[in-house]
Amino acid sequence: MKIKVLIVDDHKIVREGICHVLEKHTEFEVVGAAENGRSALRMAQTLMPNVVIMDIAMPDMNGIEATHLILAENPDIKVIVLSMHSDLRYITEILKAGASGYVIKAGDSEDIIRSIKTVMSDKIYLSQAIHDSVIKDHIKQSEEKDGSVYSLLTKREIDLLCMLTEGNTTKQIAAALGISVKTVESHRSQIMKKLNLFSISELTKYAVREGLTTL
């Protein structure tokens, strides 16, 4: 039986590149490709892939949040993050979200093949560039004092932050989330207070740095 793979990345050239790599191996079947986390969630529910290869920084739901939701629906799916970031912050967050693998985009194409085979054996896969002991130490430290966006903001506040930094107006956000304009303004004020940031420009830089959105 072939291993069914769903590819999620907001760049078409990356999706096509991964698909091309996988098509060379008869044991894999690419069942779909999504350009953002929200589409990935829908496709994972209908296509039931064995493995999801997931980018982190995407518009309309980032990869970390999408991983949380996909695994909440079906914990048997293996999620492998494919990212340009080697920052331990990203790696820690995605492992906490339940991902089984983390592959650096700067690596070679065989890294993707190895990662799929590894996670399908119920093992964790990390690119060779990442030192296991450093990861373990960082996870331990972050559990003791977690200053990530996911510990500072609620899910609704994170959703609203993403929409704010992607250029949506207060009215558009209110309509999308089914809340009043006054509630959106209240959430925005609370987000700024929690993060100690007081302009859309500062919020945008923060969201990009935390991997919630892209410029």
Q: Which CATH number covers residue 194?
A: 1.10.10.10
Within this chain, do residues 134 and 167 fall inside the same structural domain, yes or no? no
Range(s) of the domain holding residue 189: 149-209
Strand partners, 126: 102
Q: Cα dist. 134→53, 92, 106, 126, 137 in Å?
A: 24, 11, 20, 12, 5
Q: What is the mean pLDDT of each run of 10 residues along the chain (215 residues)?
A: 95 94 94 95 96 90 91 95 79 86 86 95 86 57 61 86 89 91 93 90 86 71
Q: How many structural domains compose the chain?
A: 2
pLDDT score of 133: 45
pLDDT score of 215: 57
- What span, in angstroms and rounded, lies between the C-alpha atoms of 56 and 63? 4
pLDDT score of 142: 58
Within this chain, do residues 54 and 155 fall inside the same structural domain, yes or no? no
How many residues in the chain?
215
- What span, in angstroms and rounded, lies between the C-alpha atoms of 94 and 81? 8
Q: Which one-letter DSSP state was computed for residue 207?
A: H
Within this chain, do residues 16 and 104 fall inside the same structural domain, yes or no? yes
Domain boundary among 144, 169, 188: 144
Q: Is residue 153 part of a domain?
A: yes
| pTM greater than 0.75 (yes/no) | no
CB 37 within 8 A of CB 45: no
- What span, in angstroms and rounded, lies between the C-alpha atoms of 195 and 202? 10
pLDDT score of 138: 58
Q: Is residue 215 part of a domain?
A: no
